[in-house]
Structure 1
Amino acid sequence: MKILFIHQNFPGQFKHLAVELARQGHEVKALTLRVKERTRWNGVDILPYALQKRSEQRTHPWVLDLDSKVTRAESCYRAARMLRDQGYAPDVIIAHHGWGEAMFLRDVWPAARMGLYCELYHLTDYPHAGFDPEFPVPDQMDAEIRIRLKNLNNHLHFEAAQAGISPTHFQADTFPQPFRDKITVVHDGINTDMLQRRDDVRFEIEGGPVLTREDEVVTFVNRNLEPYRGYHVFMRALPRLLRERPHAQVVVVGGDGVSYGARPPKGQTWKQIYIDEVRDRIPDADWARVHFLGRIPYDRFVRLLQVGRVHLYLTYPFVLSWSLFESMSCEAAIVASATAPVQEALTHDVTARLVDFFDGDALVDQAIDLLEDSAARDRLGRAARAHVRDTYDLRRHCLPRQLKWVSDLAQMSV
């Protein structure tokens, strides 16, 4: 079978599925912006495409998001036409359509079956919008119109696709009928055989301490340090946590950019804004126990999760981070926000301690309780890992179900 993946940052969420399909003997290709030259990766033929140059034109601010997606879609479409003219015709197209790339591929290959990675449909009601009162929108009606227009990309893809796949029920349930009935819920998958507790692990911090499981390590991890992932709540809780746990080492992983939500004021970063807000309440000796690592290689990231005693995770009602499931697999004792997507994966006092997203004191209370109670840490950590293995394990559950989804997709009528 000929299978074409579409993802601007390939492999992204397809890193296991694409490789396994190639290993099974399928002809697997990928179109992506990520590479500049054609390359081969784990049996996958990766083909670059470049954004088309455009003349300057005025665009209504409400459709800037759609404009950027159509720009990607046109560029991917032209690359697809070149492939078609060379004789290539995929049986199945699997696309993360969030950036618009696959919008016109039905015009190129009308006989291909298309499956969409359904990350999120943008909703205008609470708590999907207006969750954090600290960041109100200037005009609620305008904001709702912008969100509705943002979903044009979803609807244009729904018309072309036969099926969808979504990693969690929370995400799938944001999509409207009738397309919701076409979405299969299967997580991307966690490699629990690699991600597991190691008592002999050591984690070196450049210019700082070498941490082991004998140390009191608290971890906080995001792709980027921003309010959507509760960075502001975490930072405001930090002075008390450091004060009451004088031996704790707090390790923070995440970039300075913005993955989701509003951007900070021009020339600033959310990271520094909240450091500046709390820094005068943290003595220098305590601040020396806070380690901002930025983004780190994956092997170091795994060692960090393995060395941590308590892992803090906060998020708006939004897409769950892989890091949450990875920390569960490493038997972390987790304190997390009791928001809907988290509650799908974690149960209070069974696999984690859950607190109100905005309650920094509750976050510290639960972290301190777990730091002081090794039996509770071990109980929650073992239960968290067991739940990941039973529900989100890559080889035992997720990848076989993803492969069945592809097989079923290939049999659907166009």
Structure 2
Amino acid sequence: MIFAHPGWGEVLFLKAVFPKARLVCLMEYFYRPQGQDMGFDPEFSAPDFTEQARLISKNANLLLAMEAMDHGVSPMPWQASTLPVWAQAKTRLIHDGIDTSVCRPDSTAQLSLPDRGITIRPGDEVLTFVARNLEPVRGYHIFMRALPEIMATRPNLKVFIVGGQDVSYGHRPPSGSYRERYLNEVVSRLDPSRVFFLGKVSYPVFLRLMQITRCHVYLTYPFVLSWSLLEAMSVEAVVVGSRTAPVLDVIEHGKNGLLVDFFDVAGLAKQVCDVLAYPERYSGIRQAARQTVLERFDLQDVSLPAYAELLKECYSTR
């Protein structure tokens, strides 16, 4: 048995070396020059020929992997739908799994920033935003544009922003970083003493933030869904997410989270402020968010048994 992620050509020659092995590939995403992440945001230019050629080249490797694999695994329905129809036929939905025994609510959680002289705990008015890197694909620019109105409306709010200054997806900015570009756009309307850029943090720090936050914002282009969204839901965070295809796979508005149009800055600010002002209204959403993860994405009860069934099937067809 070989399990592999084929994103960078890792599986191209495996069948030649191990012809009797069963190959299972994690088919995370298949690129398109239109209709998905590319060209989604009108603030940025549509992909030119060079960009389209780059995507086609990346897909060429993925197509070879799809042809070679005996089975594919895709974590979410929308992501699986990006694959060619013939590849979908041999791909099943299995999420990597969330360890809900670790990602769980904790009323005693606290996080201290000694250099800033603050400690936060559950019940404090805290807003969070998390991305691997602070960039447009994950809606950082939209969040920052909503922040002045949110902070003006909620004078006791503290905002914690997690993410690096590099680029994980999409184009690099002409100069500097997206973090500074969009911070500079609104900095004159922010109270810097209440905004905390934490950079990249350890996993325990991330979890404590999610256990403490009163409202967590998750925005994304139509692209790969972040694990952080499910982990936030698993600890019963109230998530305000973008009404984009990958998020719709998980969140039902008003039931286990809240949704706003990706580009609706004013709508995002209004929804976040309501959650911050009336946290008791959203206790049911918190509980339903964790229940969603327990039922659909739990590592021990859902994901590992699904992989075990896949293994059995692979061995039975050898």
Name the structure 1 match of 2:161: 252
Mapped partners of 2:181, 2:103: distance in 1? 33
* 8 Å Cα contact 1:113-1:412 kept in structure 2: no
**Pairing of 1:223-302 with structure 2 (within 5 A):** 223-266=132-175, 268-282=176-190, 286-302=191-207
% same residue:
43
Mapped partners of 1:400, 1:233: distance in 2? 39
The two structures, once aligned, show a CA RMSD in angstroms of 1.4
Name the structure 1 match of 2:262: 357
**Pairing of 1:329-344 with structure 2 (within 5 A):** 329-344=234-249
Tell me, what secondary structure is at the counterpart of 1:293?
strand
TM-score, scaled relative to structure 2: 0.96
Tell me, what secondary structure is at the counterpart of 1:122?
coil
Which structure 1 residue ranges, 4+ long, deviate > 3 Å from structure 2?
A: 141-146, 410-413
Name the structure 1 match of 2:279: 374
* 8 Å Cα contact 2:123-2:214 kept in structure 1: no
Name the structure 1 match of 2:98: 190
Mapped partners of 1:153, 1:206: distance in 2? 48
CA deviations 1:252-273 (Å, max 9, x no partner) are 111111111111224x111111
Mapped partners of 1:240, 1:149: distance in 2? 43
Mapped partners of 1:162, 1:405: distance in 2? 11
Mapped partners of 2:294, 2:283: distance in 1? 16
Name the structure 2 match of 1:210: 119
Name the structure 1 match of 2:208: 303
Mapped partners of 1:202, 1:166: distance in 2? 35
Mapped partners of 1:411, 1:362: distance in 2? 52
State the one-letter code of the partner of 1:367: V
C-alpha deviation, 1:142, in angstroms:
4.7
Mapped partners of 1:318, 1:233: distance in 2? 16
Mapped partners of 2:279, 2:219: distance in 1? 23
C-alpha deviation, 1:143, in angstroms:
3.7
Aligned residues: 317
State the one-letter code of the partner of 1:225: L
Which of 130, 136, 160 is the equivalent residue of 2:39?
A: 130
**Pairing of 1:156-195 with structure 2 (within 5 A):** 156-195=64-103
Name the structure 2 match of 1:73: none
CA gap 1:235/1:337 in 2 versus in 1, 3 angstroms: same
Name the structure 1 match of 2:304: 399
Q: 256-265 or 318-327, which moves further after superposition? A: 256-265
CA gap 1:368/1:167 in 2 versus in 1, 3 angstroms: same
* 8 Å Cα contact 2:214-2:279 kept in structure 1: no
C-alpha deviation, 1:398, in angstroms:
1.1
Mapped partners of 2:32, 2:202: distance in 1? 34
Mapped partners of 2:37, 2:258: distance in 1? 23
Mapped partners of 1:165, 1:125: distance in 2? 24
C-alpha deviation, 1:126, in angstroms:
1.8
Mapped partners of 1:143, 1:301: distance in 2? 34
C-alpha deviation, 1:214, in angstroms:
2.8
Asked which structure has the greater RCO (Cα within 8 Å, sep 6+), the reply is 2
Mapped partners of 2:107, 2:2: distance in 1? 44
CA deviations 1:282-306 (Å, max 9, x no partner) are 2xxx211111111111111111110
C-alpha deviation, 1:107, in angstroms:
1.2
Structure 1 unpaired stretches of 5+ = 1-91
* 8 Å Cα contact 1:162-1:412 kept in structure 2: no
